[in-house]
Chains A and B, each alone.
Chain A
Amino acid sequence: MGFARQVFVIAAKDLRAEIRTKEAINASAAFALVILLLFSFAFDLDPDTNREIASGLLWLVFAFAGTLLLNRSFVRELPNDCLDALVAAPIPSSALFLGKSLANYVLLLAIEFLSLIVFGIFYNVRWTSQFAQLMLVLALGTWALTIMGTIFSALTVNIRLREVMLPILIYPFLVPALMSAIQLTLDLMAGKPIGPEKVAWLQMLLGFDVIYTAVTVFLVENVLVG
C-alpha cells in the first residue's frame, strides 16, 4: 500500500467514525454558533463595524471551534486502546498523522462554511464578493490550524489536563498564521481583492503552512512512538 493510499485510508476511517457518531462536529458547530451569538453582544453593531471586525471575529471563531474538534482527533482512539493498535499498524507515523490531519481539515472546513453562512445572515455582511480569494485564504489558514492542532492533539493525548493544554499550547504557536489570515480576510470582507501590499501576508501564511507541515511530518514519529 503506497503512502498516499495509507493517508487516505486513515482519513476515510476518521471521517466515517465522525459522520457516524457526530460527537466532535456537533459540539464544534454548536460552540461556533454560541460564540457568534456572544460576539453580537460584545460589539456595537452597525454595517461598517461589522465589516471591520468580521475577519478577526471569524478567525477567532474558527480557532476556538477548531480546538474543540481537533482535541477529539486522538482522544477518540483511546477507548479499547485503538491508538496503540494504530501506532503498531504497519504504516509510518507520518501517514497516520497526515491522514488524521486530512480528516480534521475536511471537518474544520465544513464548520467554517457553516459559520460563514450563519455569520453572513446574522451580521448582514456579504462575504461572497471575493469568493475565490476568500476560499484560498480559508484553505491556507485552515491548514495551519489543522496541522498545529493535530500535532498538539497527538502530543497531549496521554497527558494530564489535555483539554486545557491544547488551547494553551496551540494559540501562541498560531499567532503568525492567525494574524496573516485575519489581515488577508479584512480586505476580502470589504469586497476588495488581495492587493500588492497584502502579498507579504499571503507569503507568510503559505510559509507557515509549508514549514510546519514539513517539521511536523518529520517529528511526529517522536511524538507518537517515542
Chain B
Amino acid sequence: MRNKIIYVLGTIAALIVARNVYVISGLPGEEAQGAIFKIIFFHVPLAITALTCGTVACAASILYLVKKELKYDAVAVAVTEVGLAFLAGNLITGSIWARIIWGVWWAWDVRLTSALVCWILYASYLMIRHAVEEPTQRANLAAVVSIFAFIDVPIVYLSIRLFRTQHPGPVFFSSTGSFPHDWSMIMMWNLFAMFMLGSVLIMIRLRQEETQRELDSLRRLAHAF
C-alpha cells in the first residue's frame, strides 16, 4: 500500500514538473535579463522547500528529545538529507544565474553566504550521524545539533545582512515587486511540484530508515543467541 502511494505521488510530481518545464520554456524572456531569468522558477521554490525541510527537521528533533521515539529521529534525518539536496540545487541554480547576470560564479553576499553556511551546518549534522554507531546516542546528539543549526540560521542571516548586499530583494508579495500575476501562478505550481518531489523523496528515505532499524534489531537478536 505504502509503495503504491509513493509511486502515485512520484508520478504526479514528475508530471507536474514536466508540465511546468513546458509552460516555462514557452514564456517570453524577461525584459532586462532575458531567458536566464526563468531560472527563478526553480531557484526560489528550491530555497523555500529547503527552508521548510529545516523547520520540520527541528520540530522532529524536539519531538525526539521529548518522546525519545526513534521514528522522530528517522523523520529528522530523512527531511534533513532531502532539504540538503534541495539547498544544493538552490545554490547551484543561483551560481549559474550569478555567472550570467553578475559575471561571477560566486559573490559573498548575504543570501548566498547564509545559504552556504546553512548548507555546511546541516552537512555537519549528517557528519556527526555517521560518526556515532549506537542508534539512541546518535539520535540524541543529532537532535541537539539539528536544534542548534536551526537557531543559528537566522543569526547567521542577520549577521551577514549587516554587511552590504547585492542580492535583489524578494519580488513576490512585496509592494516594490513587479512580478506578473500569471508568472506568480507558475511559480506556485513549481513550488507545489518541489514540495511533492520532496515529500516523495522523504517517504522513500523514511522507508529506508525503517528497514535499517529492523535490520539492526534482527542483528541484535542474532547476536543474543
A1 cross-chain contacts in B, Cβ below 8 A: none
Q: B116-124, B181-189, B196-204: which lies at the A interface?
A: B116-124
Q: Which residue of A lies closest to B159 (CB)?
A: A176
Known A-B contacts A161-B131, A201-B162; the reply to A155 vs B141 at CB < 8 A is: yes
Assess whether A143 is interfacial by the CB under 8 Å rule: no
Contact B156 A176 (CB under 8 A): yes
Q: A37-45, A164-172, A188-196: which lies at the B interface?
A: A164-172
**How far apart are the CA atoms of A159 and B120 in the complex, in Å?**
20
Closest approach, in angstroms, between the C-beta of B110 and any C-beta of chain A? 12
Contact B152 A223 (CB under 8 A): no
**How far apart are the CA atoms of A155 and B65 in the complex, in Å?**
15
Contact B124 A168 (CB under 8 A): yes
Interface residue total, chain A, C-beta cutoff 8 A: 30
Q: Which residue of B lies closest to A148 (CB)?
A: B148
Residue-wise interface mask of B (127-163) relative to A, using a CB-CB cutoff of 8 A (1 in contact, 0 not): 1100111001100110111011101100110111010
Contact A176 B137 (CB under 8 A): no
B127 cross-chain contacts in A, Cβ below 8 A: 165, 168-169
Contact B145 A155 (CB under 8 A): yes
Contact B131 A159 (CB under 8 A): yes
Q: A57-65, A106-114, A118-126, A207-215: which lies at the B interface?
A: A207-215
A89 cross-chain contacts in B, Cβ below 8 A: none
Assess whether A33 is interfacial by the CB under 8 Å rule: no
Contact B137 A226 (CB under 8 A): yes
Q: Name B's interface SS.
A: helix
Contact A158 B162 (CB under 8 A): no
B137 cross-chain contacts in A, Cβ below 8 A: 158, 226
Closest approach, in angstroms, between the C-beta of B197 and any C-beta of chain A? 27
Contact A155 B144 (CB under 8 A): yes
Contact B147 A219 (CB under 8 A): yes
Closest approach, in angstroms, between the C-beta of B178 and any C-beta of chain A? 31
B162 cross-chain contacts in A, Cβ below 8 A: 183, 200-201, 204
Contact B148 A204 (CB under 8 A): no
Assess whether A222 is interfacial by the CB under 8 Å rule: yes
Q: Which residue of B lies closest to A172 (CB)?
A: B120
Assess whether A179 is interfacial by the CB under 8 Å rule: yes
A176's partner among B128, B131, B136, B152 (CB-CB below 8 A) is B152
Closest approach, in angstroms, between the C-beta of A196 and any C-beta of chain B? 14
Closest approach, in angstroms, between the C-beta of B14 and any C-beta of chain A? 34
A169 cross-chain contacts in B, Cβ below 8 A: 124, 127-128, 145
Assess whether A180 is interfacial by the CB under 8 Å rule: yes
**How far apart are the CA atoms of A169 and B159 in the complex, in Å?**
19
Contact B128 A222 (CB under 8 A): no
Q: Which of B81-140 contact A (CB under 8 A)?
A: 117, 120-121, 124, 127-128, 131-133, 136-137, 140
- Residue pairs across A and B with Cβ atoms less than 8 A apart, 28 shown, are A155-B144, A156-B128, A156-B131, A158-B132, A159-B132, A159-B141, A160-B133, A161-B131, A162-B131, A165-B127, A169-B127, A173-B148, A173-B149, A175-B117, A175-B156, A176-B152, A176-B158, A176-B159, A179-B159, A183-B162, A204-B155, A204-B162, A212-B151, A219-B65, A219-B147, A222-B140, A222-B144, A223-B140
Q: Kindly list the 6 A-B residue pairs having the minimum CB-CB distance in the complex, ordered from nearest.
A: A176-B159, A159-B131, A172-B120, A176-B155, A160-B131, A226-B140
